[in-house]
Chains A and B, each alone.
Chain A
Amino acid sequence: MSLAAAVIGDEAREAPPARPARRRRWTRLILPAYSWLIIAYLVFPIAIMIAYSFNRVTTGLPQVSFGWNGATLQWYRQWNGVPQLTTSFWLSVRLAVATTLFATVLGTLLALALVRYRPPRFRGRAAVEQVLFLNIAAPEIVLGASLLGLFVTINLARGFATLLLAHVAFSIAYVAITVRARMSGFDRSLEEAALDLYANGWATFRKITLPLIMPGIMAGALMAFAISIDDFVTSNFVSGASIPFPVYVYNSTRIGIPPQVFVFGTAIFSVGIICALASIVLSRRRT
């Protein structure tokens, strides 16, 4: 929604008219300065994380310490020096990829149904929407706990399978809502034109519908990936012996955090932020 707003309305809503000098001081100086201060506040802990990934360790134990002991590249060179950490990191990546695949397909199909069909054709549509909303609004600890109860009851061994089942369960709603939001301005007459030109249903879907809704699907997929790779609360309930990255980090807070945690954190942050900035630059060039 924000992107659409940014594309439509930039020129039209540049600034309200009739502004005395005092007003300019507010909008030119105070608000921007304040906003940059907040951005600095949001970035500050991330800068600390990156800085501490270069921190030398003097105590002998490979654990991050509060004091600054000078810079070193040691932890980057030994990035896979903690086997459990590396294992849990790749587990999280595999899990997020698998979750994204399942949740994107299921969520997109659901979004198609919700956008195209209304009650006489699609009974129960309102109920489906309520369920999606409940899924997003319910506190995560409640969902995680109930899933743990389920897996214990049906005696399903906890591991990658239960993690995947759980992650897809909480990602579907986010994908469906994201895809639906991006599809709301969809022009049905393009599909009708294709059908009039003797394309069959499948060809119309593949050649017309899918390319048009692709940006929405990509946004939904990114959402699912981001939520899955960062999930802690549900994962902590259903992980069993296979421990995803956030759960590993949480457990390590009790026994001492290996500096490599911050190396992985920095790597994830860098990849994510570079992709996001690139997409902003690309979208601006296109318009």
Chain B
Amino acid sequence: MEQPVLADHAGRLTSRRPRARLSKVLAPYLLSLPAGLWLLALFLIPLVTMLSLSLQTCNLGTGACVMTWHWAEFGQQLSLYHAQFLNSFYYAGAAALIDLVISYPIAYWIAFYGGSKKNFFLLMLLVPFFVSFVIRTVVWNFILSDQGVILGSLKHAHLLPQGFHVLSTGYAVVAGLAYNYLPFTALPLYVAIERIDKTVLDAAYDLYATRREAFTRVILPLTVPGLFAAFLLTFIPALGDYVNQQVLGGTSNTMIGTVIQNAFQNLDYAAGSTLSAMLLAIALIGIFGYARVLGSRTIEEYL
């Protein structure tokens, strides 16, 4: 490594050693070169290649592809799979909204009243991440199964009809997504609420605000950027998820992630990359829309 710490310093040293000066000019580039190359070769180039693949026409016999700016593929895929796109929107949207409602009070409580146990409670919010994502989903399959812990006992007590089931329905998929992605919602919300200047709240009370007013007119408006960030940070990964749908859902509620996965498995790269491009576009529209509407406060602050 080329002595990064000397960078801003020691003009007197460099005047004697021209070689050292060169390394100083290059320092930022040398530092970012290894990671930059890795990301270029294994993130940017594959991504761009795949996106361009969605505009190419492939000869199914030889597998050779030519760039034809074949935008029609997008319309075609959309008409084929619009139901799966809609499913993804419904399920990911419902899960993200449920997570917002569930986690706002607990984020609020930890931020304001966590006291010295704050770190412990934050760890409790993260506790699902200590179990493998696939295992968590499989366990929800257990919990929601017809004769499982919940439905089994309710049926045994004749509180539910025998034919009642949750697995293989959209509700099960939403339940799985909501559980698996809850920390993605709760932590940004915590950061947003924690960041509120408490003297602003004191001012509201000094001006005879009631508790409800202080919440609806001070705290809630101040956390709106956080609310949107938390929604996006939950919605986007949930949108492309296919594990929950595969393990908890049935054949009638396929999400777009499943379609993409199957397309690549069946070596239909054109369809797979077209659908991926659309999914990426949706994610980017959400993120840049957020930056547009909420100004300079980028979503990155909540990561």
* Docked pose: A168 CA to B43 CA in angstroms: 10
Instruction: Determine if B80 is an interface residue (Cβ-Cβ < 8 Å).
Output: no
List residues of A (225-269) whose CB comes within 8 Å of B's CBs: 226, 229-230, 232-233, 236-237, 245-246, 249-250, 253, 257, 261-262, 265, 268-269
Category for how many chain B residues contact A: 35 or more
* CB-defined contacts of B300 to chain A, threshold 8 Å: 133, 177
- Whether A98 sits at the interface, judged by CB under 8 Å, is no
CB neighbours of A273 from chain B (8 A): 127, 130
Q: Do A135 and B31 touch (CB < 8 A)?
A: no
Asked if A106 meets B34 with Cβ closer than 8 Å, knowing A146-B50, A149-B269, the reply is: yes
| Chain B residues whose CB sits within 8 angstroms of the CB of A35 once the complex forms | 105-106, 109-110, 121
Contact between B39 and A172 (Cβ–Cβ < 8 Å)?
Answer: yes
Cβ A45 vs Cβ B143 within 8 A: yes
Which residue from A15, A20, A113 sits with its C-beta under 8 Å from B32? A113
> Nearest residue in A to B23 (C-beta to C-beta)?
A201
Least CB distance, A239 to chain B, in whole angstroms: 13
Whether B127 pairs with A27 at a CB distance below 8 angstroms is no
Hey, what's the 0/1 contact readout for A52-65 against B, CB within 8 Å counting as 1?
10000000000010
Q: What is the interface of chain A mostly: helix, strand, loop, or mixed?
A: helix
Is A71 engaged at the interface, CB distance under 8 Å to the other chain? no
User: For the complex, is A165 an interface residue (Cβ under 8 Å from B)?
Assistant: yes
- Contact of A116 (CB < 8 Å), options: B8, B113, B115: B8
Known: A31-B109, A201-B6, A246-B133. A110 touches B32 (CB 8 A): yes
Closest CB in chain B relative to A79 CB, distance in Å? 15
Q: Are A116 and B7 in contact (CB under 8 A)?
A: yes
Residue count of chain A within 8 Å CB distance of chain B:
115
- The CA of A39 and the CA of B109, in the complex, are separated in Å by 13
Please report the C-alpha to C-alpha distance between residue A135 and residue B39 in the assembled complex, in whole angstroms: 9
Which residues of A are found within 8 Å of B260, using beta-carbon distances?
A: 141, 145
A1-B191, A139-B239, A142-B279 known; A42+B145 contact, CB < 8 A:
no
Interface residues of A in 192-210 (CB under 8 A from B): 192, 195, 200-202, 204-205, 208-209
- Is B19 positioned at the interface, with any CB of A under 8 Å from its CB? no
**Chain A, 261-287, CB within 8 A of any chain B CB:** 261-262, 265, 268-269, 272-273, 276-277, 280, 283-284
Q: Do B105 and A131 touch (CB < 8 A)? A: no
Contact A253 B109 (CB under 8 A): no
Q: Assess the A232–B279 pair: CB atoms within 8 A.
A: no
Q: A35-B106, A265-B135 are in contact. Are A141 and B261 (CB under 8 A)?
A: yes
Contact among A22, A166, A253 with B138 in the assembled complex (CB-CB below 8 Å):
A253
Assuming the contacts A149-B50, A273-B130, asked whether A138 and B283 have C-beta atoms less than 8 A apart, the reply is yes
* Interchain CB contact under 8 A, A34 and B47: no
Given contacts A45-B143, A230-B132, contact A110 B108 (CB under 8 A): no
| Contact A246–B134 (Cβ < 8 Å) | yes
A98-130: which residues lie under 8 A (CB-CB) from chain B? Answer: 105-107, 109-110, 112-114, 116-117, 121-122, 125, 128
Chain B 40-61, CB-CB to A under 8 Å as 1, else 0, gives 0011111101100100000000
Of B3, B50, B110, B145, the contact of A202 (CB 8 Å cutoff) = B3
Query: A273 vs B273: C-alpha distance in the bound complex, in angstroms?
Result: 39
Cα distance A264–B98 in the bound complex, in angstroms:
31
Quick check: B179 and A45 within 8 Å, CB to CB? yes
Given the complex of chains A and B, what is the CA–CA distance between A209 and B134 in angstroms?
Answer: 39
Inter-chain contacts of B102 with A (CB < 8 A): 38
Interface residues of B in 164-210 (CB under 8 A from A): 179, 182, 187, 190-191, 194-195, 198, 201-202, 205-206
A-B contact pairs, 9 of them (CB 8 A): A38-B106, A121-B25, A137-B283, A140-B237, A142-B240, A142-B279, A205-B3, A246-B134, A265-B132
Residue ranges of A at the interface with B (Cβ–Cβ < 8 Å): 1-3, 5-6, 10, 12-20, 22-23, 26-27, 31-32, 34-35, 38-39, 41-46, 48-49, 52, 64, 66-67, 105-107, 109-110, 112-114, 116-117, 121-122, 125, 128, 131-133, 135-143, 145-150, 153, 165-166, 168-170, 172-173, 176-177, 188, 191-192, 195, 200-202, 204-205, 208-209, 226, 229-230, 232-233, 236-237, 245-246, 249-250, 253, 257, 261-262, 265, 268-269, 272-273, 276-277, 280, 283-284
B interface list, Cβ under 8 A from A: 1, 3-10, 25, 27-29, 31-32, 34-36, 38-39, 42-47, 49-50, 53, 102-103, 105-106, 108-110, 112-116, 118-125, 127-136, 138-143, 145, 147-149, 152, 179, 182, 187, 190-191, 194-195, 198, 201-202, 205-206, 211, 214, 236-237, 239-243, 247, 257, 260-261, 264, 269, 272-273, 276, 279-280, 283-284, 287, 299-300, 303
3 pairs of A and B residues whose beta carbons are closest in the complex? A139-B240, A201-B3, A122-B28
